[in-house]
Amino acid sequence: MAVTLQQVKDYLRIDAAYEDALLQTFMDAADSYLAASIDGYADKLTDADFASKSDMVKLALVSEFYRNRDTSNDQRENFPYYIQSQIAQLQYWADVEAEP
């Protein structure tokens, strides 16, 4: 399941449409970030559990991008711990094959 613009707007509690283009940019950036961070990302998306966790991370990334888009006073160097932890879990996702 891919994250939709409507899901992002619901997650961020946004009703208006005037920021849709910005939100789509953040969604694309989140997809790109995860694809670059996780080996075999596209292949692993076929696993429903992986895809579900990935969608949650995408929502968290988009939220982070949206809420902190003015970084002029931001002193952080990393994403919050919960995002880092979830990405690490996705990075080390094991390809488990069903036993015969």
93, pLDDT greater than 90:
no
- What pLDDT shows up at residue 33? 93
- In contact, 12 and 66? CB cutoff 8 Å: yes
Region 86-95: mean pLDDT is 83
| CA dihedral angle for residue 47, residue 53, residue 36, residue 45, rounded to 10 degrees | 20
pLDDT 10s digits, 28-75: 999 999 999 999 999 999 999 999 999 999 999 999 999 887 766 666
* H runs (alpha helix) in 1-100: 5-12, 20-37, 41-44, 48-67, 81-91
Residue type, 82: Y
pTM: 0.81
